[in-house]
Chain A
């Protein structure tokens, strides 16, 4: 896969996520895709599979998180890097303004893993705690 193809793949992924189109998303990502969200907050952790990746992006949209791409480029045939600024405001006024780097790893013509790196994790944690509520103890934990 050439660099231009890798870049085109990530742009198609962007489009599928923006439209909330799960079938289109499945065409761009591996069945076992992992999307790693760092931090200590209710959305943190690795999202596994297209369904959870789609759910994660739906939740961001629902809470009004806006993401503006500052730069996007393929650094080699298997790696695309995005620099982005995420902004938003939680209901109680806690603001999000985060510079983030996303690294997309491509295997077999599909996005296999996305890893996010955050400019300043602590205020990001505070925003997501303010924006999302977990279920009670017995409901939010995996077995």
Chain B
């Protein structure tokens, strides 16, 4: 039987696959019919943080379930990223680590590589997700070509 931390990470991906079509490309996962609620109430802490590295329109810290969902919705919409060869392990007392291959579902998307995620859990939920990669310049270039900011100043948050 899988470690509970691994089960929780798999649950997150199953929810995201059903909610925004992001995942391993095999389509909806049975048993996750209310994925947004499950992510908010069962998978993520209220203050979950998703750290996306790089210098591009989707980089930075996404905070809260809704922002994390919005992030994956953009990925699914514009790139259709697929991840496979997914390996997830318990890591430390309250963590998990994941290694997966990723590539674009669309033929025009040439971006491909390996990601390593670390998860920190609190109270049985995911509180912190950090993405690590080894091709940041390629990712920056690709994401900057796919996503455009709104004109100034509409793209910026108020001080």
Contacts and interface: CB of A to CB of B under 8 A. Distances in A.
A binds B: yes
Contacts of A129: 55
A139 B159 CA distance: 15
Contacts of B56: 40
Contact of A136 (B67, B147, B149, B159): B67
Contact of B55 (A40, A56, A59, A135): A40
B71 interface: yes
Interface string A106-136: 0000000000000000000100010011111
Contact of A125 (B55, B71, B159): B55
Given A137-B62, A137-B74, A138-B70, A43 B150 contact: no
Interface of B: 54-58, 60, 62, 67, 70-71, 74, 140, 144, 147-157, 159
18 contacts: A45-B148, A45-B149, A47-B151, A59-B152, A125-B55, A134-B157, A135-B154, A135-B157, A136-B67, A137-B62, A137-B70, A137-B71, A138-B70, A140-B155, A141-B147, A142-B148, A142-B149, A142-B150
10 shortest interchain CB distances as A-B pairs: A40-B55, A142-B148, A140-B155, A137-B70, A133-B157, A55-B152, A135-B157, A52-B151, A138-B70, A55-B153
B58 A137 contact: yes
Contacts of A138: 70
A26 interface: no
A135 B157 CA distance: 4
A134 B151 contact: no
A136 B74 CA distance: 12
Do most interface residues of chain B lie in helix, strand or loop, or is the interface mixed?
loop
- Prevailing SS type, chain A contact patch: mixed
A24 interface: no
Given A52-B152, A58-B153, 4 more contacts: A42-B156, A132-B156, A140-B57, A141-B148
Interface of A: 39-43, 45, 47-48, 52, 55-56, 58-59, 125, 129, 132-142
B138 to A, nearest CB: 12
A40 B140 contact: yes
B156 A41 contact: no
B153 A134 contact: no
A37 to B, nearest CB: 10
